[in-house]
Structure 1
Amino acid sequence: MGELLGVFAAIMFGTSHFFNGVLSRRIPAMSVAVYSQAGGAMFFLGWALSIFWTQGELEPMGDQDFGWAVLSGIGAGIGVAALYEGMRKHSISLVVPVTSIVSVAVPFILSITVLGEPLQLHTAAAGVMLLPVIWLLSRPSKQTSHPNASVRESRRDLFAVSYGLIAGAGYATQLFALSQITSSTPAEPLLTGQLVSLLPLLTLAWLRNSTLQPKKATLQAATVGLAAALAMAFYLYATRHALLGPVMIAIALYPAIPVLLALLVLKERLSRAQALGLGVAAIVVPIVSLAN
């Protein structure tokens, strides 16, 4: 059950990142990040209010859950800002896989070294298969023959990887912190983290004099933020029904979603490497869905 929820979370994460990545090419990435997180906050606020209306009260949030929620929000704010800015300036097929590797690898390692979770055979096999999947999905579909192209592309790739590393570190912090929240009805901690994530984003927007005036595209970003919030809820409940390690392997499959959507929505063509990566990903999914 937990691994399956992790797969659902990966689908929602990948979908939200793709559409917000497309929006970040039409409007400032900071606006996309802010309105996306605000949309997610509205989702969690509605969830909390629905619990209050049906039960008459919310479960009090303990100090530990509050601390983990704040930490998750800080990580999310950094991750969202770096990811959308990276997707705006560089190739989505490079920034997203690097982000995925870092954001999954860190919590996965912590689940073994800090939480003491056992490393199961099917989890280890899926993790080994996952690395070539992410690498294959990041391969470009076309090659250029311009004599100076390789130098320019190398520089662009270096900056793209840098954005991916920063975004991955932010998301790794968020995902690990969320996995430590223990409230039986986590709407309040999730709402707290979502609101905290807006603080670094609004600070960056202020420092860069970015305009945040509502437009049609920003409202679309807020709508996409609902999908990202739903992904977080799926992920949190996944960590309660399975070990963190297998759930992180499932989450790491989300780079396949932007590639598929680029094929279906943007009519991009897959390279042979990307097609092979999708094929291997189709094998990894049932492996991570095995019961513990």
Structure 2
Amino acid sequence: MTTGTLPLRSLDRYLTRKDDRRMTYEPFHIIGENRPGRWLITCDHAANTVPPFVAGGTLGVHPEDMARHIAFDPGAAGVTKRLAELLDCPAILSNFSRLVIDPNRGEDDPTLLMRLYDGTIIPGNARADSEELEHRLAECYRPYHDALARLAARQDDTVIVAIHSYTKQLKGRPPRPWHIGILHAADNRLSRPLIWRLRQEPDLCVGENEPYGGHLPGDSIDRHAEIPGRPSTLIELRNDLIETETEQNNWAERVAPMLTEVLTQTGL
């Protein structure tokens, strides 16, 4: 596993830092960087980590809330790792909570840094100003996206699969019935065939752009797939179905052959 691999200019910046606290923290992890598969599996919300240089390493959120979907995508990292192993391809996983800064938002998105999420106040973000936002962009967000861009460009025919998870029910909202959702924007070359394939499974409730729409300007898929023209899809798994390592592995093992099948069928 490669941890926090950066382009040379970014690496130089990291090595010249005087703050030793930053030297012990890496904003992302790369697994299987030299695997030959054309897929790239991404996990934008893999961790609930709060780096030591952000609000002293705590956002003031109760540990029970930091273990919820408001802080990261529970179960998504395990699915990502196993899926990348099965497809013999690299994976990149963030190593900072979405409450620190959300890597699946554009830099000008108003929800990039949340002060309230699903009924929970984020004390460590209450007084975060433009300088603090820039600090988090420089230390977490941009290094992650730099590395993702480098991996995506490693070969000409990269196909990106983004793995996310969602909660079965938000506070005050109706339950979400889908087991899995496939999100896409304008480019549905891979997503539509994958939805069709998943819907052949009689035990699955499959959503298209559910539980929410599949595109935000400047989000990860827009930035690394839509704009460069790379085929992609975003898979949302309901997090109560991927709580254990066994469940995470089972979902990866179920989805991997479907991805291979539809990629072959589409001729992408």
Compute the TM-score of the two structures, normalised by the length of structure 2. 0.29
Which structure has the highest strand share of the two?
2
Compute the TM-score of the two structures, normalised by the length of structure 1. 0.27
Which structure has the highest helix share of the two?
1
